[in-house]
């Protein structure tokens, strides 16, 4: 097995026993990035020298003994997290040269745990998109088929994970941006409960929906990483004031007696491909074999979630992105005669087409005379969606569904049809609107060899149930062990 | 709901974005498609339903009103496109 194929659990065992050094591991990953990333294009910035320095430091910690499970482990960070001294672009021209002066809390916690920052991954500009084609720099490719998208917006993170270019990748998820790319790339990802992970230092898109989480080879690794990055943070006023549990404690408990809710409306959704449906049905059958009870639940307003989202998210985005005006940081259009001209020119040259579209929709929805019809209405329907979940969770412990309606689509296929792109998030958006934790993991492969994912959602702060169920599933299946042909055929590292 | 090109231009001014006339036509079509799609919410009865701004309610956190360490001024302006000393430079505001 190559070093780049290791799980964190495996790597940290080897590191702790000093069978490998962090420096060896980082060098192996950097060599792999050099060989493979020109094809996949998952990284915006690779921090080679910094990573090797940090690895040497981690090796000293490991030599002393008592280091935690992430010590010396190379991770990739979506380029939406502020990293002190390392360029943070959000894959936008407007932040192309921006170097933050502080670390996001997630980054600070990872560094504290001894993890090595390998680089910053590509994304849809400001996390707006479902394919990573909206990056202001270049599109990332799906490692399973380089003519297809990796999903988005954390497409760089998911592709890097799938292609063996890191041992864990951190993403953010506002409407599915961790889960959908994880599904398209055949890896495991979790969006935690809203408020579980600090948003401090994450460039804001839609503040009532944004949440950070890990993408890893399997659920056990996700539990390891989430344990390190979650917890209360006084720097984020929406951070839940509860201690961070050790999510790795109850991973082996199995699913005997777990009540698994099957939302009938979701499985009847138009656009759900028969292949995905069959793969998810297979996952349900396996959970039953493993001892879970299935119960039918109703989420009657599922078909409204995308509409609610595409008012609330752009409304919040139009407000959050008002800060990019060329004054304090980032790009400034030169030679402006007036401040107003500078605002206009800076923003028009700095933002790409999808970001402009969302700012316009959001500005319109919040403008005088339209606020009640759009933003207020959407916020009320959001309440009804939250209530639907509350009712459903009275009779079940977790809800199962597909992650994305189809396997990864082709690059360019949906770029001219924003609405078709938005519908890629139809199964993932509800968890964001309701603030629920939700996990995506591979549950099969299409006839064309593309990974397909299953989603599990749970009650607020019940990530443990998701990890327990996912670990039981992955113990009984091998989908998560498959590697893209790219990873197997090339002789690297 | 139709967002015609002139309305797109009006909203663009509010959002401090330049939109040229060709782009306004394309945006008019795309944004109208999106507004048509979200119009399905109109049919939902929301009488008496409170809005949700945030799905996980926590009490507003408080902290003592004391001075805490913050970024030194030179660091705070380090990322500004144009600065002089500890000041950020911008084009003239007053005529």
Q: What is the value of pTM for the model shown?
A: 0.97
| Average pLDDT of the residues in A387-399 | 98
Give residues with Cβ within 8 angstroms of A149, minimum separation 6: A130, A131, A132, A133, A139, A140, A141, A142, A155, A184, A408, A409, A410, A411
Instruction: Please give the positions of A annotated as active site.
Output: 78, 153, 177
Q: What per-residue confidence (pLDDT) applies to B60?
A: 83
Distance in angstroms (rounded) separating the CA atoms of residues A132 and A91: 9
Are the beta carbons of B46 and A380 separated by less than 8 Å? yes
The string of pLDDT tens digits covering residues A321-362 is 999 999 999 999 999 999 999 999 999 999 999 999 999 999
Owner of token pair 């752009």: A314
* pLDDT-derived band at A492, boundaries 50, 70, 90: very low
A 82-101 residues inside an 8 A Cβ radius of B: 98-101
Chain A interface includes B74 (CB < 8 A): no
pLDDT in the model for residue A210: 98
Is the CA virtual torsion B60, B63, B64, B69 positive or negative?
Answer: negative
- pLDDT for residue A287 is more than 50: yes
How would residue A383 be classed by pLDDT, with cut points 50, 70 and 90? very high
Domains, chain B, in order of start with CATH, read 5-42 (1.10.20)
pLDDT for the residue A491: 45
Q: Where are the domains of chain A?
A: 3-261+394-481
**pLDDT confidence band for A421 (50 / 70 / 90):** confident
| Dist CA A415 CA A395 (whole Å) | 40
Stretch 2-31 of chain B: residues touching chain A, C-beta under 8 Å: 3, 7-8, 11-12, 14-19, 27, 30-31
Cβ A157 vs Cβ A187: under 8 Å: no
Contact (Cβ atoms closer than 8 angstroms) between residue A449 and residue A415: no
What whole-number percentage of chain A has pLDDT above 90?
Answer: 93
| B55, A389, A359, B88: CA torsion to nearest 10 | 30
Query: Per the structure block, which two tokens stand in for B56?
Result: 């996980």
Confidence of residue A393 (pLDDT cuts 50, 70, 90): very high
User: How many whole angstroms separate alpha carbon A180 and alpha carbon A160?
Assistant: 15
Q: Rounded to an integer, what distance in angstroms lies between the CA atom of residue A87 and that of residue A95?
A: 9
**Sorting pLDDT into bands at 50, 70 and 90, what band is A269?**
confident
Query: Which of B17, B41, B90 is the closest to A307 by Cβ?
Result: B41
Which positions in chain A touch B11 (Cβ < 8 Å)?
Answer: 360, 363-364, 367
- The angle formed by the CA atoms of residues A460, A466 and A471, to the nearest 5 degrees, is 165
CATH of domain A3-261+394-481: 3.90.1300.10
Average pLDDT on B74-83 reads 93
Confidence bin at B95 (pLDDT 50/70/90): low
Cα–Cα dist A105/A88, whole Å:
15
Span A457-466, pLDDT tens digits: 999 999 999 9
Q: Is A339 on the interface with B (CB under 8 A)?
A: yes
| DSSP state for residue A443 in the 8-state scheme | E
pLDDT of residue A479: 98
Q: Give yes or no for residue A436 having a pLDDT over 70.
A: yes
Q: What are phi and psi of B84, to 5 degrees?
A: -145, 115
Q: How many CB atoms lie within 10 A of CB A111?
A: 17
- Give me the percent of chain A exceeding a pLDDT of 70: 99
Could you report the per-residue pLDDT of A204-247, keeping only the tens digit for each? 999 999 999 999 999 999 999 999 999 999 999 999 998 889 99
Is residue A240 a contact partner of residue A491, using CB atoms and an 8 Å limit?
no
A164: helix, strand or coil: coil
A62, A18 Cβ separation under 8 angstroms: yes
Decide if pLDDT at B43 tops 60: yes
- The pLDDT value recorded for residue B58 is 86
The strand pairing partners of A454, in sequence order, are A402, A441
Query: Which residues are CB-contacts of A182 (< 8 A; sequence separation ≥ 6)?
Result: A151, A154, A158, A161, A171, A188, A189, A215, A403, A440, A441, A453
Per the listing, tokens 């839609």 go with A206
Instruction: Assess A139–B contact: CB distance below 8 Å, yes or no.
Output: no
Task: Give the pLDDT confidence score for residue B93 in this predicted structure.
Answer: 83
For chain B, give the mean pLDDT: 93
Q: What's the average model confidence in pLDDT over A61-80?
A: 96
**DSSP codes joined into one string, A256-301:** TT-EEEEEHHHHT-TT--HHHHHHHHHHHHHHHHTTPEEEEE--TT
* Cα–Cα distance, A62 to A57 (Å, whole number): 9
Contact A327 B80 (CB under 8 A): yes
Rounded to an integer, what distance in angstroms lies between the CA atom of residue A468 and that of residue A219? 9
CA pair distance A293, A309, nearest whole angstrom? 32
CB contact under 8 A, B88 and A328: yes
**Mean pLDDT in residue range A143-153:** 97
Whether residue A208 and residue B54 make contact (CB cut-off 8 A), yes or no, is: yes
| Arithmetic mean of pLDDT, A21-27 | 98
- pLDDT for A493 equals 39
By C-alpha distance, which of A348, A372, A374 is closest to A361?
A374
Average pLDDT over residues B8-36: 95
Are A304 and B79 within 8 A, CB to CB?
no
Say what the pLDDT of residue A484 is.
96
Query: pLDDT per residue over A101-137, tens digit each?
Result: 999 999 999 999 999 999 999 999 999 999 999 999 9
State the DSSP string of B26-95.
HHHHHHHHHHHHHGGGGGS--TTPPP-S-SS--PPP-----------HHHHTTT-SSEETTEE-------
A444–chain B nearest CA distance, Å = 32
Whether A360 sits inside 8 A of B75 (CB atoms) is no
Number of C-beta neighbours around residue B43 at 10 A: 7
Bridging pattern class, strands A293-297 and A211-216? unpaired
């Amino acid at each position: 097995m190559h070093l780049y194929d290791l799980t964190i659990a495996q790597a940290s065992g080897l590191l702790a026993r000093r069978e490998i050094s962090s420096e060896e591991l980082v060098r192996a990953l950097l060599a792999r990035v050099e060989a493979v990333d020109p094809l996949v294009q998952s990284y915006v910035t690779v921090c080679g020298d910094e990573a090797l320095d940090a690895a040497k430091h981690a090796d000293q910690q490991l030599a002393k003994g008592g280091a935690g499970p992430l010590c010396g482990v190379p991770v990739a960070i979506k380029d939406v997290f502020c990293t002190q001294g390392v360029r943070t672009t959000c894959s936008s021209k407007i932040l192309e040269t921006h170097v933050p002066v502080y670390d996001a809390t997630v980054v600070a916690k990872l560094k504290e745990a001894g993890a090595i920052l390998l680089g910053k991954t590509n994304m849809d500009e400001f996390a707006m998109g479902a394919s990573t084609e909206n990056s202001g720099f270049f599109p990332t490719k799906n490692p399973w088929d380089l003519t297809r998208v990796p999903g988005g917006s954390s497409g760089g993170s998911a592709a890097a994970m799938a292609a063996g270019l890191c041992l864990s990748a951190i993403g953010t998820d506002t409407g599915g941006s961790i889960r959908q790319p994880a599904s398209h790339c055949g890896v495991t990802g979790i969006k935690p409960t809203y408020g579980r992970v600090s948003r401090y230092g994450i460039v804001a898109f839609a503040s009532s929906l944004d949440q950070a989480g890990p993408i890893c080879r399997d659920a056990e690794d996700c539990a390891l990483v989430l344990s390190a990055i979650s917890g209360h943070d006084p720097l984020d006023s929406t951070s839940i004031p509860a201690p961070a549990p050790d999510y790795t404690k109850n991973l082996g408990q199995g699913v005997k007696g777990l009540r698994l809710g099957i939302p009938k409306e979701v499985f009847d959704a138009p656009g759900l491909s028969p292949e995905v449906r069959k793969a998810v049905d297979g996952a349900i059958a396996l959970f039953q074999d493993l001892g879970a009870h299935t119960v039918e639940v109703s989420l009657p307003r599922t078909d409204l979630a995308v509409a609610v989202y595409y008012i609330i998210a752009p409304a919040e985005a139009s407000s959050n992105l008002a800060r990019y005006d060329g004054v304090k940081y980032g790009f400034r259009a030169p030679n402006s005669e007036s401040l107003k001209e500078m605002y206009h020119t800076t923003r028009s040259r700095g933002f790409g087409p999808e970001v402009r579209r969302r700012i316009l929709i959001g500005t319109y929805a919040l403008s005088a005379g339209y606020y009640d019809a759009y933003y207020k209405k959407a916020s009320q329907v959001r309440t009804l969606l939250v209530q639907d979940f509350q009712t459903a969770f009275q009779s079940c412990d977790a809800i199962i569904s597909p992650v994305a309606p189809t396997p990864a689509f082709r690059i360019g296929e949906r770029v001219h049809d924003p609405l078709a792109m938005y519908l890629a998030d139809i199964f993932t958006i509800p968890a964001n609107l309701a603030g629920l934790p939700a996990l995506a993991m591979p549950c099969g492969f299409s006839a064309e060899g593309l990974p397909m994912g299953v989603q599990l959602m749970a009650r607020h702060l019940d990530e443990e149930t998701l990890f327990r169920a996912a670990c039981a599933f992955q113990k009984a299946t091998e989908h998560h062990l498959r590697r893209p042909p790219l990873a197997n055929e090339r002789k690297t590292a | 709901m139709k967002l015609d090109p002139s309305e797109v231009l009006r909203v663009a001014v509010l959002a401090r974005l330049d939109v040229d006339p060709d782009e306004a036509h394309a945006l008019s079509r795309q944004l109208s498609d999106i507004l048509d799609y979200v119009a399905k919410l109109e049919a939902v009865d929301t009488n008496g339903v409170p809005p949700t701004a945030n799905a996980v309610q926590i009490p507003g956190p408080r902290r003592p009103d004391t001075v805490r360490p913050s970024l030194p001024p030179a660091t705070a302006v380090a990322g500004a496109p144009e600065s002089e000393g500890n000041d950020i430079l911008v084009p003239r505001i007053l005529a």
